[in-house]
A and B are shown apart, each in its own frame.
Chain A
Amino acid sequence: MSVSVRIPTILRTYTGGNAEVSGEGGTLREVLQKLDADYPGIGARILDESGKIRRFVNVYVGEEDVRFVDGLDSATPAGAQISIIPAVAGG
């Protein structure tokens, strides 16, 4: 499925400064694998050594925080907007 991925400022060094890139995959896991293939190194910034989403990263598919859905197995339908956002904000 073709999706679009919003890249936070601190990861744009990997995407040549692009704030939004296109991605592929039926689940978030697949989308992130493809993202890392396109932009080597970006995957390790989002996922920790054990392959889980880092503690201080929030990932959204559309309006939904994937922690409330199926985490990395969350479905990413065609046209979905995926946002990767640093969690350290607010309060």
Chain B
Amino acid sequence: MSLDFGPAVALSCRECGARYDLGPSFACLECFGPLEVAYSFGSVTREDIASGPANIWRYRSLLPVPVDVTSKQNMNPGWTKLVKADNLGKVLGLRDLHVKDDSGNPTHSFKDRVVAIAVEAARNFGFHTLSCSSTGNLAGAVTAAAARAGLEACVFIPADLEQAKIAMARVFGGKLVGIEGTYDEVNRFCSELIGDPLGDKWGFVNVNLRPYYAEGSKTLAYEIAEQLGWELPDQIIIPVASGSQLTKIDKGFKELISLGLVEDKPYKIFAAQAAGCSPVSTAFKAGHDVVQPVKPDTIAKSLAIGNPADGPYVLDIARRTGGAVEDVTDAEVVSAIKLLASTEGIFAETAGGVTVGVLKKLVETAQLDPSLTTVVLNTGDGLKTLDAIAEDASPTAVIRPSLDAFRAAV
């Protein structure tokens, strides 16, 4: 089998540095640490990138994908809006605030980015079925991408997910299996399925394809920098479920600096969790470098990972960059969803409510400098998490179609 992963040359263990050939493996044989893609980048210029397509493939020379990736059937996600959020900034007292709105992706969440990379890895390894453990968004991203790529799909979710996410994952075909348990239990099940003949030739995007898949989140960093005129933001607020996205945005910023595509400058990374599932925030505040798993209980189901694989790395990055990890209650999440919607016309899913809620809290507690360029991430679409605003899901008034009735109502 000849593999084509573009600039990727090996897998390397983030813990002990052991190196492995590119393959469908995700844990180090020595220490069980996570494997990451290692590259040998050629020279890359801003012009090269800018001349590429208006999707993540403009950064293909920085990703583990074949050179001719643009000629393949793929969802082509990315290049989503970076919205200058002056209204929200004014309310919160921030001078230069931007919202990176990933609800504009093909299946309305950032997961399309990571899945697009995983599809190429699955093709490389000759897998026939695309699978995942999902808190919801990923399931839809996988079934859609599999449909387009001509692969089978079989995805696993906690059975009690939001109806909209279940419907979305079903509509693209494939099998959608609800597991009676939490996301962490679904994840465990998938890890066991990989070692069983039942899961042979299956590409689990966030298990045996995880090293490749996770790299997709780097494109958020690349886009934010390019959209800010090839400059890194001073501060960024990123939601944390497993922590993978945050670690890869940091990796993306560091790559841009090392390739000379942006000026080297300090940036602070802030991590956002929901109070009902805040193991990383708890560890950060206690000064620990180990994350004690929790049993999640929050409306922010896409962030409800009680045992986050990259939790320790999130702590490292928040501390190294001078950021912080903070959490907000479900009530604060709902109010932040409404605040973002009513100031900027962006309807965020609960995870976006978490980041905006945390941003507000960081300003109020003076953990963040309101005079600096700040980016807050919205990772998905509010239509998928309507339960969060159910109490407002009715007209402000119901009247007979007459001017008198309207006059009385207003």
Contact = CB atoms under 8 A, between A and B. Distances in A.
B241 interface: yes
Which secondary structure characterizes the binding site on chain B? Answer: loop
A29 B229 CA distance: 56
B74 interface: no
Contacts of A6: 192
Contact of A88 (B32, B184, B290, B293): B32
Nearest to B292: A67
Which of A10, A60, A83, A87 lies at the interface centre, i.e. has the most chain B CB atoms within 10 A of its CB? A87
Query: Which interface class (under 10, 10 to 19, 20 to 34, 35 or more) fits B?
Result: 35 or more
Interface string A52-71: 00111110100101011000
A40 B243 CA distance: 35
Contacts of A87: 32, 307, 309
Contact of B191 (A54, A67, A85): A85
Contacts, number: 92
B245 A88 contact: no
Which of A56, A63, A68 lies at the interface centre, i.e. has the most chain B CB atoms within 10 A of its CB? A56
B160 interface: no
Given A56-B15, A60-B188, A85-B191, A91 B308 contact: yes
A67 B29 CA distance: 22
B242 interface: yes
B353 interface: no
Given A86-B191, A89-B187, A90-B183, A19 B309 contact: no
Given A55-B290, A90-B183, A85 B305 contact: no
A8 B188 CA distance: 11
Interface string A12-50: 100000010000000000000000000000000100000
A65 B306 CA distance: 11
A9 B195 contact: yes
Contacts of A12: 195
Interface string B304-347: 01011110100000000000000000000000000000000000
B268 interface: no
A46 B185 CA distance: 20
A91 B210 CA distance: 9
Contacts of A68: 293, 295
B121 interface: no
A68 B214 CA distance: 28
Nearest to A52: B290
Contact of B192 (A55, A57, A83): A83
A9 B25 CA distance: 10
Interface string B151-190: 0000000000000000000000000000000011101101
Interface in B223-276: 241-245
Interface in B185-229: 185, 187-188, 190-192, 194-196, 204, 206-207, 210, 214
A86 B99 CA distance: 35
Contacts of A58: 188, 307
Given A10-B29, A68-B293, A88 B195 contact: no
A23 B404 CA distance: 81
8 contacts: A10-B27, A60-B188, A65-B293, A86-B27, A86-B32, A87-B307, A90-B206, A91-B241
Given A10-B32, A56-B27, A90-B133, 17 more contacts: A6-B192, A9-B194, A19-B195, A45-B32, A56-B15, A56-B309, A65-B307, A85-B191, A85-B192, A86-B27, A87-B307, A88-B309, A89-B26, A89-B187, A90-B183, A91-B214, A91-B310
Interface of A: 6, 8-10, 12, 19, 45, 54-58, 60, 63, 65, 67-68, 83, 85-91
Interface of B: 15, 25-29, 31-35, 133, 183-185, 187-188, 190-192, 194-196, 204, 206-207, 210, 214, 241-245, 290, 292-293, 295, 305, 307-310, 312
